[in-house]
Amino acid sequence: MSRPERDLLAAAAAVAPAPVCGDAPVFGAPWEAQAFAMTLALHERGLFTWPEWAAALSAAIRAAQAGGDPDDGTTYYAHWLAALERLVAERGIAPEATLHERRAAFDRAARATPHGEPVVLENDPLRRG
């Protein structure tokens, strides 16, 4: 595991430890690993500090719990992604409207993708050529 990965896991551990196997994070789906990797990349570019990340992740988890989240670990990376999206919008990297449209495009692509095939945005039926 790289030093940034260790730092990220350590920062998150205070509020919500990421599932690990040995010393490597465990991901239930490819998008979880991608969200993790995006978080590392954006931190390395200076978008946020690890304490800012930990605070954002903690806030996303608390908000989900207040809304009835089962808090059983199955939604951990959904909270991770919510925190990441919030920081990206707050820091002006992508407006909330853009994030909303990308989520909708991914949902349409997922619905249009045959079972067992990877979901890619090119499968969005509303995609502009």
Q: Phi/psi at 23 (nearest 5 deg)?
A: -115, 15
**How far is residue 8's CA from residue 23's CA, in Å, rounded to a whole number?**
13
Higher pLDDT, 124 or 24: 124
Q: pLDDT > 70: what percent of the chain?
A: 84
Beta carbons of 56 and 47 less than 8 angstroms apart = no
Question: Distance from CA of residue 113 to its chain's centroid?
Answer: 21
pLDDT digits (tens, 9 = 90+) for 62-108: 999 999 998 888 899 999 999 999 999 999 999 989 999 998 998 99
pLDDT attached to residue 104: 93
Beta carbons of 62 and 52 less than 8 angstroms apart = no
**How far is residue 69's CA from residue 63's CA, in Å, rounded to a whole number?**
9
pLDDT at 122 over 80: yes
pLDDT at 129 over 70: no
pLDDT at 10 over 90: no
Kindly tell me the burial class for residue 60, based on how many C-beta atoms sit within 10 Å of its own C-beta (0-12, 13-18, 19 or more).
buried
Beta carbons of 42 and 86 less than 8 angstroms apart = no
Residues 6+ apart with CB under 8 A from 119: 106, 109, 110, 113
pLDDT at 15 over 60: no
Residues 6+ apart with CB under 8 A from 13: none
